[in-house]
Amino acid sequence: MPVPRAVVAAVVAASALPAAAGSPQAGGGYCLLPDQSQLPVPNLIATASSLDWIHPHPPPAEREPADLERLDFAGFPNVSVLDVAGRDGRPEQKVITTFTTNVDKVVTLTSEAAVSTDGGVTFGPPAATPLRESPVELLDGRYFATEYYPERTGPHTASLGVLTSDVADDGEDWLRSVATLGTPDELLPGGAAHGTPVQLADGTILITVYARYLDTGAYQAEVYASSDGGRTFERRGVIARPEEAGYGYTEAALAQVMDGTLLAVIRRDGGGYATLSQARSADGGRTWTRPAGLRFAGMDCVVRGVAPRLLLMPDGMLVLSAGRPDNWLAVSRNGLGYEWGEPRVTYHNRDGVWDTHGSSGYTGVAAVGPHRLIQVVDNCKLAGVRPDHSLDETACPAHGRFEQGGRYAIKRRLYDLAPPAPGRLDLGAMLRRGDLTVSTTMRWTGRGRPRTRPAAALDGSTRYWSSAVAAGGPGSYVLHLDRRYRFTLAGLSLRPGHPAGARVYVSRDGRSWGEPVLTIAGRTDYALRYEPISADGRHVKIVVEPSGDCDEEIGASCAMLNEVELYASP
Give the H or E element holding residue 6: helix 5-11
In terms of DSSP bridges, do strands 518-524 and 157-166 run parallel, antiparallel, or are they unpaired?
Answer: unpaired
In DSSP notation, 198-265 reads EE-TTS-EEEEEEEEETTT-SEEEEEEEESSSSSEEEEEEEEE---STT-EEEEEEEEE-TTS-EEEE
Looking at residue 27, its pLDDT comes to 60
- Looking at this protein, which amino acid is placed at residue 535? A
Looking at residue 11, its pLDDT comes to 34
Contact 198, 206 (CB under 8 A): yes
Q: Which long-range contacts (CB under 8 A, 24 or more apart) does 332-337 make?
A: 333/43, 334/258, 335/257, 335/258, 335/526, 335/527, 336/257, 336/258, 336/259, 336/261, 336/263, 337/255, 337/257, 337/263, 337/265, 337/278, 337/280, 337/310
Question: How many beta carbons lie within 10 A of that of residue 7, not counting itself?
Answer: 13
SS3 for 394? coil
Which residue positions in the chain have pLDDT lower than 70? 1-27, 168
The set of residues, in sequence order, having a beta carbon less than 8 Å from that of 145 and lying 6+ positions away, is 131, 132, 133, 134, 135, 136, 162, 163, 164, 174, 197
Measured in degrees and rounded to the nearest 5, phi and psi for residue 508 equal -85, -35
Contact 565, 490 (CB under 8 A): yes
Distance CA(324)–CA(305), nearest Å, equals: 5
In DSSP notation, 300-325 reads -SBPB-EEEEEEE-TTS-EEEEEESS
Looking at residue 6, its pLDDT comes to 33
Looking at residue 403, its pLDDT comes to 97
Looking at residue 9, its pLDDT comes to 34
SS3 for 524? strand
Looking at residue 12, its pLDDT comes to 34
SS3 for 556? coil
Distance CA(452)–CA(449), nearest Å, equals: 5
Distance CA(419)–CA(283), nearest Å, equals: 31
The set of residues, in sequence order, having a beta carbon less than 8 Å from that of 292 and lying 6+ positions away, is 277, 278, 279
Tell me the CA distances in angstroms from 174 to 64, 130, 141, one per residue in order: 36, 8, 14
Q: Is the pTM of this model over 0.75?
A: yes
Looking at residue 109, its pLDDT comes to 86
Q: pLDDT tens digits, residue range 370-425?
A: 999 999 999 999 999 999 999 999 999 999 999 999 999 999 999 999 999 999 99
